[in-house]
Amino acid sequence: MKINKIIYLLIASFMLVFTACDPIVDEAHLSDSTDVAGVQLVATQSPPGGNKITLKMASPGITGYWDYNLGTALTNEVTVVYPIPGKSTFTYVGSLGSQFFTKKIDVQVDRLDTPLDQDWYDLVGKNTATGKTWVFDNQGAGSLWWFMSPPGSADGAMTAWWNAGDCCPPSDANGKMHFDLNGAANYNHYETLTSPAEKGSFVLDPTNKKLIIKDSKMLGYAAGNKDGVYTIVTLTETKLVLYLSNNEANGTGWTFVFRPQ
């Protein structure tokens, strides 16, 4: 009798072990709540025609984010004070459930009636369509305008490890760069004051103190980075100081000091 009980216990134990080893299969399948045509994008301007724009993805069951050209918002609804007059296209990137999609909406901005962050006016000037030109703030021998600085943090941006501008200036030391908002965030790099422009675009992020140059070069690019992302140390009407925490040329920090032309 005891032997039978032991045998039953062993059999039960083996059954539990083998049952525990069976894989758990999730039979749930993703399905689309709608199609791309059914995704409703809404843009509201306050006041109508103005540059304060609320972008909303109004369809239920959809998740994603907005790309509003000068940044992204990881939400279905975002309000931006847009700095560029004219027609602009904004993009929503989302998931229907089983597939990703992008959908665009056009918005016509007739006037900049909501003031921009002051950084925009400091960078591109009060006449945002005309824009503003910047050059190196070279005040002569010993001045700091393009120099190696400590890596890792903008706190040491104005500490010069090596004043490279004094002995070994960049090829575009006498060049210029121009920012404007004439229909887009336009950026032009000039190797010299009279050379043709290398056209690109830019993103100004006042909140995170970043200036991003796209499809062109920052003035002083010999010590820049290919990604074009610079930390803003100072931005006023009369001075622009940018910093890299780890420049590609030598792995140190680097600081760029500009003034309006």
Q: Is the pLDDT of residue 27 over 60?
A: no
Domains of the chain: 36-109 (2.60.40.10), 118-260 (2.40.128)
pLDDT digits (tens, 9 = 90+) for 175-226: 999 999 999 999 999 999 999 999 999 999 999 999 999 999 999 999 999 9
Q: Range with the lowest mean pLDDT among 17-31, 205-219, 228-242? A: 17-31
| CB-CB contact of 249 with 235 (8 Å) | no
Residue 155 has what DSSP assignment? G
With H, G, I as helix, E, B as strand and everything else as coil, classify residue 6. helix
Amino acid identity at 14: F
Q: How far apart are CA 213 and CA 211, in angstroms?
A: 7
Residue 2's pLDDT band (boundaries 50, 70, 90)?
A: very low
Termini Cα distance of the chain:
103
- pTM beyond 0.75, yes or no: yes
Q: Reply yes or no on whether the pLDDT at 95 is more than 50.
A: yes
Distance from CA of residue 183 to its chain's centroid? 19
